[in-house]
Structure 1
Amino acid sequence: MKQTPPKPRKAAKHRPAKFWPVMGFATLAGMRSMSAPAFLSHYLSKQPHSGLAGSRLRFLQKPFTAGLLKVLAAGEMVGDKLPNAPNRTDPPVLLGRLLSGALVGAAWYRSRHGSAIGGGLLGGVAAVAATFVSYALRTGISKQSGVPVALVGVGEDATVVAGGTALLRAQKSAPVGRAL
């Protein structure tokens, strides 16, 4: 009996990842609102994407924006430890985290030629969820261990920096959609 060779597979079409990176950036936004835009802007300033050309979100690709957002993120990490720092679940602070998540979600999706609205909705919802989860973890760890909340916050900062760094390293520049 003669065996027929297997049919060749069709080459998979390259589709840049959108969903999981937004979940990662939005989680950062829920933990530290300025960290997510700072990490994303750093990435986009080094690897501009054509999906943002002509978009209002293209400012995130500018090195000046990346530098400014890094300063703001560092300031937030310091301010978070102050005794008069507002609770992250207070409505104005929560709104800031929601907007931060929406910004990174919209920019990431748009940079990948996707829907900025869809990415913004995903990022905003995920950032709010991450806000409540990270708050519960931070206060729970503090209560269980007896370690002051501010000191647990230092560990949270380290998690944000390590997570953001890992998230950026995981991104590969795709020749399709990349600005020249």
Structure 2
Amino acid sequence: MSKHLWQTLGLGAIAGFRSMTAPALLSSNLLSTTPQALAGSPLRLLQKPLVAHGLKLLAASEMAGDKLPQMPDRIAPAGLAGRAAMGALVGATLYKINRDQPVTGALLGGLAAVAATYGSYYLRQQATKSSGWPSAVVGGLEDALTMAMGLALAKGTNAGQPQRRQWVL
């Protein structure tokens, strides 16, 4: 299986945990690479410094806001749709960079985000209940896990850099 498939599934899942973290990490990574496959595509905006920094600010705001008691559940329709959209954005971008079908990447990234949204929602509920810790503390641990996984996926695997084409004779 291709590297960008695994990156798409992984960063799509990160979008399920925290919607803005996956595009923020990918966009930040794209500042150091300039894949020509994004030229002429609306996805090229992720390569802009202003967009990358704005996404980082949104990701930090989301992490802080998640701890507030009045925030709706992540599985509420609006939150779920946003997470699916961010997973789709990351997937489409990774597939476009690798000269693959962006629609396929969008579908895979969106599905991974939805699955991870439900999984992380129930996991956090269970962790809060069984540990006896406040939800905000468990949410902080979730943030740390999300960042560690996201950085490993985005930086450790060079997300945003196209795979080399292998020629088969």
Query: 4+ runs of 1 displaced by more than 4 Å?
Result: 173-177
C-alpha separation in 2, matches of 1:33 and 1:88? 10
Deviations 1:32-74 (A, max 9, x none): 0000110010011111211111111000011111100000000
**TM-score normalised by length of structure 1:** 0.86
RMSD: 1.6
Deviations 1:2-48 (A, max 9, x none): xxxxxxxxxxxxx9621100011111100000001100100111112
1:85 maps to 2:74: no
**TM-score normalised by length of structure 2:** 0.91
Contact 2:92 2:106 in 1 (8 A): yes
Q: How many residues align?
A: 163
- Whichever of the two has the greater Rg, that structure is 1
Contact 2:35 2:162 in 1 (8 A): no
User: Helix, strand or coil for the counterpart of 1:152?
Assistant: helix
1:19 maps to 2:5: yes
Q: Which residue of 1 aligns with 2:130?
A: 144
C-alpha separation in 2, matches of 1:89 and 1:175? 34
Q: 1:74 aligns with which of 60, 72, 77?
A: 60
Structure with the greater relative contact order (CA < 8 A, sep ≥ 6): 1 or 2? Answer: 2
Q: Which residue of 1 aligns with 2:81?
A: 95
Structure 2 gaps, min length 5: none
User: Helix, strand or coil for the counterpart of 2:67?
Assistant: coil
User: Helix, strand or coil for the counterpart of 1:114?
Assistant: coil
C-alpha separation in 1, matches of 2:108 and 2:67? 29
- Sequence identity, in percent? 48
